[in-house]
Structure formats: C-alpha cells, structure tokens
Amino acid sequence: MLRILYERFQQGYRTSPFPKQEPTLPDRFRGLPRLHPERCAAGCRECAQGCPFGAIREQHGALALDLGRCLFCADCHACPHGALEFSTDYRLAVRRREELTITADRGPVLAAPLDAPLKELFGRSFKLRQVSAGGCNACEADVNVLGTLVFDLGRFGIQFVASPRHADGILVTGPVTENMREALLATYAAVPEPKVVIATGACAINGGPFSNAPEVHNGVGALLPVDLFIPGCPPHPYTILDGLLRLLGRREVAD
Amino acid sequence: MTPEIALTNGGRLPLAAIPVLPFPEFASGVIDLIRHSATPIAYFADQPAPEAPPELFAVLTAATPGTFTVLRSRLAPGFTSLTTRAPQLHLFEREIAEQYGIAASDHPWLKPVRFHSVWHGTTDAWGRDPGRHPQPGVMDFFRVEGAEIHEVGVGPVHAGIIEPGHFRFQCFGEKVLHLEISLGYQHRGIERLLLGGPWPQTPSQIETMAGDTTVGHMTAYSLVLEGLTGTVAPPRAQALRAVALELERLANHVGDIGALAGDVGFLPTASYCGRLRGDYLNMTAAICGSRFGRGLVRPGGVLFDLEPARQARLLQTLADIVPNTRGALSLFFEAPSVLGRLEGVGKVLTDDALGLGLVGVAARACGLDCDTRRAFPVAPYTTENVPAITEASGDVFARARVRQREIEHALAFVRQALENLPAGPIATPLTALPADTLALGLVEGWRGRLAHIALTDAQGRFRRYKVIDPSFFNWSGLAMALRDEQISDFPLCNKSFNLSYCGFDL
Ligand code: SF4
C-alpha cells in the first residue's frame, strides 16, 4: 500500500489544463496549412497536380485547399515554391464538409455548437459509440488517448460506451471499407434518435490515403449524414477534443 | 537438394537467377527446409502479366545464418497443399486461393482470409458469385457438437475503441474448447493498390497499413527500395530510424502493460502507463511532428534531422520519464494479486508456437529466440547490441514480462543512440528501380517480424508487393491460447497479444 502511495506521489499530477490554457504542440507539428498565393509564379498550377490526394485546386481563380483530403504530409510535394506551409494550429474541426475548404484569406469555419434542443440534451452528458471502419488504428489510438488522465475526457461529460443503444451518436474512423459498411449502418441504426455522426480523420472524411480505392467508400459521408468533421491523419488528440467541445458549445467560437 | 539461392535482409536478386522448379520439387524443397528448422517468411503467388501463368514464390530462412532462400514454381489448379506438413503455411495457401482463385488441394481448412473478390480471372475458390463483393464473415466455422455445447459470437463491432473482427467461441460452460477468428473487415486492398507502383500515394499507404507500426512498416519498405536500387541509408539516418523504431516499441509496450493492468483491475499502472505511452509518442512527434512517426522514414534515409538542442531535449525528456516508467512497471510486476491473474493463463506451447510460425513477443514468450534485429541485423542493430529476450512459460505473464524486459532494453538503446548519433547526411538519393528484380526487407516491429517483398517487372514497377505483418501469423496463436481457458479470460489473453486487425487485413 505504501509503495502504491509513494509511486502515486512520484508520478505527479498530469491532467492538462486544457481548455482553460492552450496546449503546447511540438514545433514540427503539422497543423492548419497556410497558403501564400503571393509566392505563386504567374500561371503556375503545379500544386493541383502535385498532391497525390487532390487536396489542392483552384477555386474561383484562387488557391483552395481541402482539409478533408489533406494528410498533412511531411514531404508535401504539392508546391515547390513554398506557397503552402503548415502552422501548428491544431483547431480544425468543422460542421459541414464544404467548410473544410480553405483559401489564403479564409480558414476553416470552426465548428458551431449543435442546435438548441440537441445542445440541451447532449451538452453536459454526451455518450459516443466508436466505429472503426477500415482505420489504421492511429485515429482509434488518438481517440482512445482522450480517456487517459492527461485529457480526462470524463470531466467534460463525454464518454465512449460499449453499446450503441446507450450512445448519443457514433464517432467513425476509417474510409468505410466495403466489409464494414453493413456493420457501420447497423451500429448507426441501433443508436436511438436524436443522434449525431462524427467523422474523425482523413479516412472517415474522404477516404484518406485510400481514397478512390475499390474496397473503400471514401468516408462515412457517402453513407450517413455527418455532423462534425475532424481532419488530420490522424488528428491530434487536441484537435479531436477541441472539435468535440465545440460541438457541445463548450469552447468560445473565437478561441 | 534444391540449389541454394541466397538473399540477405535488404538485399536483392535478379528474378532470372531464381529457377522455376516443377511443383513437386518446389514442394519438397520447401518442406525439407522447414523440417531442417527453416522459418517460412512468405509464400505467395504472383501473376507477371494478365495472360502469363501465375507463379509461386516461397521465401525461407537459409542454413547460412543471416540469409534467405527463395524458391519459385508455377501455380496451377490443383497444386498440393503443404499445410498438413507445414501448418505455418495454412494462411498463405488460403490467401493464394482468395487472391488468385486457385485452391490448394487437400487444404484442411481452406477458408477466405479477408473476404474480397479474386484479383485475376473470374474463378472464385469457394464458388461465390465473382460479380458480387463477398460478405465478410460468411464461411464455414469449425463447430463443436454436443448437447451442452454452446457458441458465442462476438463482433465485428466490439465494446470499446478497437478495430473490428469476428470471434466465434465453442464453449462448454465457461470453458472455451475452440476459438475461430474471422477477419477482413479492415481490408482496404493495399497489396492490390501497390501493383504497378510505387505510386505517389504509396508512402502514405505503407505508413497506414498498421498505423501503430508506421515506423516499422515504412522502414521495411525503405529497405526494399534501397535493396532494389543498391542504396544504403547514411549511418545517421539508420540511427534515427532505430531511435524511432524503439520509441514505437516503447510507446506500444508501455501502453500494452497499461492495458493489461486495466484488464486485471490494477488501476495505478493502468493510469500511469496510459500517460507514459503518450510521452513516448510525443517524443516521436518532437522528432518529426507526428506522434506516429508519419513522414519520418523514407527510402534513402529520413526526412528530419536532430539539431543539438533537439537531441538534448529528447535526452532530457527520456531521463525524466524513465523513473516513472520503471516505477509504473515494477508496481505492476511486484503485486501478487496481479501475478496471480497473469500466470498460467492463455498458455501457448512452444511446439504450437513453432508449428504456427508465431513471431515477435508472442514467440519469444514461448522461449523462441527469434528477433529480426539479432538474426538479420541491419545497422545500427547487431547480434550483440540486441539481447535474446525470452520467457519460457508461454502465458499472459510471459508476454507481459517479455515486454517489460524489452522496454528496459529499448530505454537504454534509445539513450545510447541519441548520445552517439553519427554525424553526416540523413539521406542518400535513390536511383530508378531496376527491372525484373526481387528484394526483401525485414524489420522487428514492436509486435514482431514485418516482412516486405517486392518483385519488379520489365519497367521496374512493382509486379507484386507482398506484406506480412506479424499479426498474420499471431492471430492463430491467440486462438490457441484460448483453448481450455475460461471465456471470461478472453479480454486478458487478447490484450496480451494485442494484434493488429488492419495489419492482417491490409
Ligand atoms: S485518417 Fe490516417 S490515421 Fe486515421 S485511420 Fe485513416 S490512415 Fe489512419
């Protein structure tokens, strides 16, 4: 017993002060990309070809990047002229698919809270069933980590539950393989109304590294209505937590 | 005796140097080698061109230490199954049937592996409609009959944040007589996507075959590409890869001990390890920005260097968390109530481990000294700087203890490597891939041996890229571990293996 108490003392207090205090992310962390069209050579559209996942394209004459397709690659080949750089901003979650498209002067439209009745219902107690549908287990791992004492998800009233019947929604990872389609739909159907769907990671949003592969469905949006999109491959745990808290209206919109 | 074709880890062979043997000679060659204690690394089919007849390749360890033998034959309908003589090959033969529609005759349990349609042609080995995607989990399960026997089916969706898979238990009361595991739910078709590659998407797909083994799989892929082109990554890059590989091992092993602690209800270690696992992931993120090592390793070297200040910070972080890690682990291993739950549970016999070809932690826990880092070392690993870590009892305890000892070794290894980083560049440019060549890359990932094999075509593109994740062999080990156990001990046994679904499903 004494040994256990001694060890407890040694291990210290480890729960992060988030969201009261902003987290410090590693300097090499690749978060929200920033576009610098002023660095583009005239008429150059190399980036449109350069990204193997089609994350960059021209939209109304301006450079646009789809955070739902972006894998935040370290060796981003998209732009050889430095017009695309990653910042360490981890806040990326949005409510609608099209809000993931960013330009030089428009960032992602960070997620607004659920509408009044749902926010009332789920704001203080939000139970989710996680469904891994072809994920590589990194998204799953960084969702799981929210349950550790560092993030202590429980203090926000959010909990992952075993049964879909006890859940208020599902959090999906993976591109939705054909082999998981039915199980995913059955799990969704088993969640009582009203319910939400959260697409976590590039796979669940648009197929990620496997987009357009014959065995996958390019994300959960092809099969179910999605209420929250959390980009990244995988998203940082703080990106996921930030998204969940925004959905529940527990972060200021300006934060 | 078959002429020996020698290949090393990270080496290559011109395909023309591998004779195409008649199948009987190929079969007896493979069986002979296995009888003389060769380890089968891979057994797979390949169709060089749409009209060309498919071929068979077997890669096994050779008698000369540190080398491999490759055998090659033609794949023709009715080829004989080798499974009854070498059970290690059972899944390989099922995989060949599923991918190429050609079933090995006399296979004792020829069932689908991942539930997808055939790659080539239209003949399905199970007579399913080739125009429709097969239904996962629809196969003949082994059944125990008897008035008091009942069956328990679990999954694909399980309780908890975990990947999907289907488990079927044949039980007599609480006792499990047999467990059959049917996977494939995570199947993204990676090997097929790699045909004709490397493609621009390939590195991301390699890194996400099994996302918790990003560094391991990407290092194996890099060894293959370096082997094909005859490139050697600079010493500094090799050292940084090893640091990342050991950090991957640390994060996962520490996390696994925490998960075992959680399962037996020993909450202090469960909580501490949960946080410590994150600290190791964050060390990887300090190197390359990604907690899982995405973008760190690339063919030719690594993408990120450590400037002195970063190197010093990493060493400091390590020094800070070592005592906490040791404390959390020793608390666990010193608690009699914990040991009482781990010892004697989920036992796998050494003979079964050998017969099923188990690899990695699961095999070492059965007393088998098998570690790619020792047996087929690629710098900076040597047979001397990686100790043989084995435990004899083959139970949950042994698998936990192997992890604890490997954590100790990895901590020392990472510190040593960081303190003595060789100077110099971090990458060597790669030349174009050669035509008609085979190359092999083996890495000891945290779960066990990762094997990648590439065969190039006349244009130097992948005509086949074969991946074997350790979980490919080890799921059978978990099924064995459950024999005669209480079904309520399944979660504990499962965590003691902690296998990858997506690494198996690909
Ligand atoms: S988004 Fe990336 S990290 Fe997440 S499951 Fe897909 S491949 Fe893995």
pLDDT digits (tens, 9 = 90+) for A35-64: 888 888 777 778 778 889 999 988 887 888
Verify whether ligand 1 is closer than 6 Å to residue A138 (CB atom): yes
Q: What residues 253-312 of chain B have any CB closer than 8 A to a CB of chain A?
A: 268, 271-272, 274-275, 277-278, 282, 285-292, 294-296, 298, 303-304
Kindly tell me if the per-residue pLDDT of A34 is higher than 80.
Answer: yes
First to last CA, chain B: 35
Verify whether ligand 1 is closer than 6 Å to residue B291 (CB atom): no
CA B296 to CA B281: how far, in whole Å?
13
Atom of ligand 1 nearest to the CA of B204: 7
Verify whether ligand 1 is closer than 6 Å to residue A135 (CB atom): yes
CA B399 to CA B418: how far, in whole Å?
28
Note whether B2 contacts A: Cβ–Cβ < 8 A.
no
Instruction: Tell me if A210 and B205 make a contact (CB, 8 A cut-off).
Output: yes
Per-residue pLDDT of B375-385, as tens digits, reads 999 999 999 99
Residue owning the nearest CA to atom 6 of ligand 1: A203
CA B109 to CA B89: how far, in whole Å?
12
Instruction: Tell me if B185 and A8 make a contact (CB, 8 A cut-off).
Output: no
Closest listed residue to residue A37, CA positions, set A106, A94, A98, A90:
A106
The pLDDT mean for chain B works out to 95
Cβ B276 vs Cβ B321: under 8 Å: yes
Instruction: Tell me if B289 and A30 make a contact (CB, 8 A cut-off).
Output: yes
Verify whether ligand 1 is closer than 6 Å to residue B208 (CB atom): yes
Pocket test for ligand 1, best of A137, A200, A210, A233 (most atoms within 8 A of CB): A233
Quote the tokens at residue B119: 């790659």
B277-282 contact pairs (CB < 8 A, 24+): B277/A145, B277/A148, B277/B251, B277/B252, B278/A145, B278/A148, B278/A150, B278/B251, B279/B317, B279/B321, B280/B247, B280/B250, B280/B251, B280/B254, B280/B321, B281/B247, B281/B251, B282/A26, B282/B317
Kindly tell me if the per-residue pLDDT of B2 is higher than 60.
Answer: no
Residue owning the nearest CA to atom 2 of ligand 1: A233
Instruction: Tell me if B211 and A138 make a contact (CB, 8 A cut-off).
Output: yes
Kindly tell me if the per-residue pLDDT of A153 is higher than 50.
Answer: yes
Mean pLDDT for B96-118 is 94
Instruction: Tell me if B161 and A234 make a contact (CB, 8 A cut-off).
Output: no
CA A173 to CA A200: how far, in whole Å?
5
Cα angle for residues B119, B92, A211 (degrees, 5° grid) = 40
User: How does residue A187 score in pLDDT terms, banded at 50, 70 and 90?
Assistant: very high
User: How does residue B444 score in pLDDT terms, banded at 50, 70 and 90?
Assistant: very high
The shortest C-alpha distance from A194 to chain B (Å) reads: 21
DSSP string, B290-324: -TT-TTTEETTEES----HHHHHHHHHHHHHHHHH
CA B134 to CA A117: how far, in whole Å?
42
Query: Distance from the CA of B204 to the center of ligand 1, in angstroms?
Result: 10
The shortest C-alpha distance from A74 to chain B (Å) reads: 5
Comparing A54-63, B15-24, B39-48, B319-328, which segment has the lowest mean pLDDT? Answer: A54-63
List, in order, residues 6 or more apart from B447 with CB less than 8 Å away: B213, B252, B359, B360, B361, B469, B470, B471, B474, B498, B499, B500, B503
pLDDT, residue A254, reads: 59
Domain ranges of chain A: 116-247
Cβ A111 vs Cβ A95: under 8 Å: yes
CA B325 to CA B458: how far, in whole Å?
52
Verify whether ligand 1 is closer than 6 Å to residue A208 (CB atom): yes
Q: Which amino acid is at B454?
A: A
Candidates A177, A212, A240: best to mutate against B (most CBs of B within 10 A) is A177
CA B263 to CA B155: how far, in whole Å?
19
Quote the tokens at residue B212: 């918790």
Q: Higher confidence at residue B357 or residue A81?
A: B357
CA B251 to CA A146: how far, in whole Å?
16
Q: Coil, strand, or helix at residue A170?
A: strand
Query: Distance from the CA of A70 to the center of ligand 1, in angstroms?
Result: 11
Quote the tokens at residue A116: 């009044």
What share of chain A in percent tops pLDDT 70?
A: 99
CA B454 to CA B140: how far, in whole Å?
33
Note whether B188 contacts A: Cβ–Cβ < 8 A.
yes
Q: Coil, strand, or helix at residue B50?
A: coil
Instruction: Tell me if A26 and B285 make a contact (CB, 8 A cut-off).
Output: yes
The shortest C-alpha distance from A133 to chain B (Å) reads: 6
CA A102 to CA A124: how far, in whole Å?
31
Which chain A positions have a beta carbon within 8 Å of B185's beta carbon? 133-134, 177, 179-180, 183
Per-residue pLDDT of B31-72, as tens digits, reads 999 999 999 999 999 998 778 889 999 999 998 899 999 999
Q: Coil, strand, or helix at residue A9?
A: helix
CA B88 to CA B472: how far, in whole Å?
10
Note whether B175 contacts A: Cβ–Cβ < 8 A.
no
Instruction: Tell me if A28 and B287 make a contact (CB, 8 A cut-off).
Output: yes
- The topology (CATH level 3) of B202-470 is Cytochrome-c3 Hydrogenase; chain B (1.10.645)
CA B46 to CA B54: how far, in whole Å?
5
pLDDT, residue A255, reads: 60
Mean pLDDT for B353-370 is 96
Query: Distance from the CA of B191 to the center of ligand 1, in angstroms?
Result: 17
The model's pTM: 0.96
List, in order, residues 6 or more apart from A74 with CB less than 8 Å away: A30, B288, B289, B290, B294, B295, B296, B303, B304
B251-254 contact pairs (CB < 8 A, 24+): B251/B277, B251/B278, B251/B280, B251/B281, B251/B284, B252/B212, B252/B277, B252/B446, B252/B447, B252/B498, B253/B403, B253/B404, B253/B406, B253/B407, B253/B410, B253/B446, B254/B280, B254/B325, B254/B328, B254/B329, B254/B407
User: How does residue B441 score in pLDDT terms, banded at 50, 70 and 90?
Assistant: very high
Mean pLDDT for A173-180 is 97
DSSP string, B228-239: HHT----HHHHH
Atom of ligand 1 nearest to the CA of A233: 2
- The topology (CATH level 3) of A116-247 is Rossmann fold (3.40.50)
Atom of ligand 1 nearest to the CA of A174: 5
User: How does residue B453 score in pLDDT terms, banded at 50, 70 and 90?
Assistant: very high
pLDDT, residue B1, reads: 44
Q: What residues 324-353 of chain B have any CB closer than 8 A to a CB of chain A?
A: 324, 327-328, 331, 334
Verify whether ligand 1 is closer than 6 Å to residue A209 (CB atom): yes
How far apart, in Å, are the Cα atoms of B246 and each of A8, A174, B6, B399? Answer: 27, 27, 29, 18
In chain B, CATH 1.10.645.10 covers: 202-470
Closest listed residue to residue B230, CA positions, set B452, B8, B387:
B8
Verify whether ligand 1 is closer than 6 Å to residue B188 (CB atom): no
Verify whether ligand 1 is closer than 6 Å to residue A219 (CB atom): no
What share of chain B in percent tops pLDDT 70?
A: 99
Atom of ligand 1 nearest to the CA of B211: 8
Q: Where are the alpha helices (DSSP H) in chain A?
A: 2-11, 46-50, 116-122, 138-144, 178-190, 201-206, 237-247
Kindly tell me if the per-residue pLDDT of B252 is higher than 60.
Answer: yes
pLDDT, residue B360, reads: 97
Candidates A132, A136, A211: best to mutate against B (most CBs of B within 10 A) is A136
Note whether A24 contacts B: Cβ–Cβ < 8 A.
no
Instruction: Tell me if B210 and A187 make a contact (CB, 8 A cut-off).
Output: no
Q: Which amino acid is at A76?
A: C
Cβ A214 vs Cβ A207: under 8 Å: no
The shortest C-alpha distance from B117 to chain A (Å) reads: 10
Instruction: Tell me if A213 and B272 make a contact (CB, 8 A cut-off).
Output: no
**Which chain A residue is nearest to residue B199, measuring alpha carbons?**
A52
The pLDDT mean for chain A works out to 92
Instruction: Tell me if B208 and A160 make a contact (CB, 8 A cut-off).
Output: no
**Pick from B161, B199, B277: CB nearest A160:** B161
Q: Flag whether the ipTM exceeds 0.90.
A: yes
List, in order, residues 6 or more apart from B309 with CB less than 8 Å away: none
Q: Which residue has the tokens 């390939």?
A: B202
Note whether B60 contacts A: Cβ–Cβ < 8 A.
no
